[in-house]
Amino acid sequence: WVIMVTAQTPTNIAVIKYWGKRDEKLILPVNDSISVTLDPVHLCTTTTVAVSPSFAQDRMWLNGKEISLSGGRYQNCLREIRARACDVEDKERGIKISKKDWEKLHVHIASYNNFPTAAGLASSAAGFACLVFALAKLMNAKEDHSELSAIARQGSGSACRSLFGGFVKWKMGKVEDGSDSLAVQVVDEKHWDDLVIIIAVVSSRQKETSSTTGMRETVETSLLLQHRAKEIVPKRIVQMEESIKNRNFASFAHLTCADSNQFHAVCMDTCPPIFYMNDTSHRIISCVEKWNRSVGTPQVAYTFDAGPNAVLIAHNRKAAAQLLQKLLFYFPPNSDTELNSYVLGDKSI
């Protein structure tokens, strides 16, 4: 016999960034972060987990290719969920798995991303969140979404925020074992549903410096990061939560853009400096800044993760339509810029 569970998890985009760990093994961050979870249709991971007495070992396939599960991050997630496994019974098929059986049984995992892996579109976030959620369902673990987020965090930090829809805060936590470093929902996906997210895919190539390596080097060398984590982010988190709760787009846009720019400044302050944005990214920033200033009140916020792709959050549908018009004018498809596709994250939050 085989028992299977399939789950689908969207990715999330940070509007107050996580960058820097205080504990690399447990993946504990140096500051709180806040993100928005995207539409489950456009940028998501679909993961099927299966268990059978005939499986001789744990195995995983990512986008159809087998990958090694020996890395600590996968092992952490598997171990933590196995430790919480409960009895499972399929009466119709006469299958009974007791709590103890899970220690001996092996799983097969098949995971697909519907967007480029490791191109700065937060694929690890959706991937580990989906893996943990699917395993928890298969093994009948009773933990709630926040408790599961603390396990997904041990796969990839940003993954903990993908267990919820809407706007989500990852609380950095205080205790040494990391048990209070988990995600909570700030508001659900219906709270601010006139926002429209557009991702301008500047390049779908694999990034040169992974987030994990990049943030390690930043922690080791950047003084600006220490100032950011201690003095800047705690205040911004409070202001960002307020802006989201009050649907104050002007304040939301100001904080989102400022935090993205400071994250990239921190990358530049790293030795050797890390460049995630390229000329096209910079031109998109100028275009949005000019437009916002000419209108008087911000219409669009931009944010960039560890790659050159722009995540643009428009105030409403009208602003989104105008933004697309502008992008298509300044960055026509197949022009000499690399900007060649747009992903609409409509109704995404």
Helix/strand/coil for 248: coil
Say whether residue 122 binds ligand DP6 (CB under 6 A): yes
Say whether residue 156 binds ligand DP6 (CB under 6 A): yes
Say whether residue 280 binds ligand DP6 (CB under 6 A): no
Compute CA distances 28 → 104, 160, 172, 178, 286, whole Å.
30, 11, 7, 7, 34
Say whether residue 259 binds ligand DP6 (CB under 6 A): no
Say whether residue 240 binds ligand DP6 (CB under 6 A): no
Question: What letter does residue 295 receive in the DSSP assignment?
Answer: H
Among 111, 113, 154, 158, the residue binding ligand DP6 under the rule CB under 6 A is: 158
CB-count exposure of residue 211 (10 Å: 0-12, 13-18, 19+): buried
Binders of ligand DP6 in range 302-341 (CB under 6 A): 305-306
Q: Which is nearer to ligand DP6, 80 or 305 (CB)?
A: 305
Compute CA distances 237 → 94, 233, 247, 259, whole Å.
51, 6, 15, 10
Say whether residue 178 binds ligand DP6 (CB under 6 A): no
CB under 6 A: which stretch of 12-20, 94-102, 240-248, 319-327 binds ligand DP6? 12-20
What single letter denotes the amino acid at residue 339? L
Q: Which is nearer to ligand DP6, 262 or 280 (CB)?
A: 262
19-38 mask for ligand DP6 (x: CB under 6 A)? x-------x-----x-----
123-152 mask for ligand DP6 (x: CB under 6 A)? -x----------------------------
Extract the tokens encoding 287.
Answer: 């275009």
CB under 6 A: which stretch of 53-61, 64-72, 138-146, 156-164 binds ligand DP6? 156-164
Please say whether the beta carbons of 143 and 124 come within 8 A.
no
Say whether residue 18 binds ligand DP6 (CB under 6 A): yes
Compute CA distances 98 → 148, 184, 223, whole Å.
21, 31, 52
Q: Which is nearer to ligand DP6, 48 or 212 (CB)?
A: 212
Q: Which is nearer to ligand DP6, 158 or 181 (CB)?
A: 158
Binders of ligand DP6 in range 187-216 (CB under 6 A): 211-212
Q: Which is nearer to ligand DP6, 44 or 306 (CB)?
A: 306
Task: Provide the minimum distance between the beta carbon of 95 and ligand DP6 in the complex, in angstroms, as a whole number.
Answer: 35
Closest CA to 120 of 288, 280, 336: 280
Closest CA to 131 of 58, 34, 206: 58
Helix/strand/coil for 332: coil
Helix (H) or strand (E) holding 21: strand 21-23
Say whether residue 164 binds ligand DP6 (CB under 6 A): no
Compute CA distances 286 → 16, 261, 289, whole Å.
20, 12, 5
Q: Count residues contacting ligand DP6 (CB under 6 A)?
A: 15
Say whether residue 113 binds ligand DP6 (CB under 6 A): no
In angstroms, rounded to a whole number, what is the distance separating the alpha carbons of residues 105 and 336? 53
* Positions that interact with ligand DP6 (CB under 6 A): 14, 17-19, 27, 33, 122, 124, 156-158, 211-212, 305-306
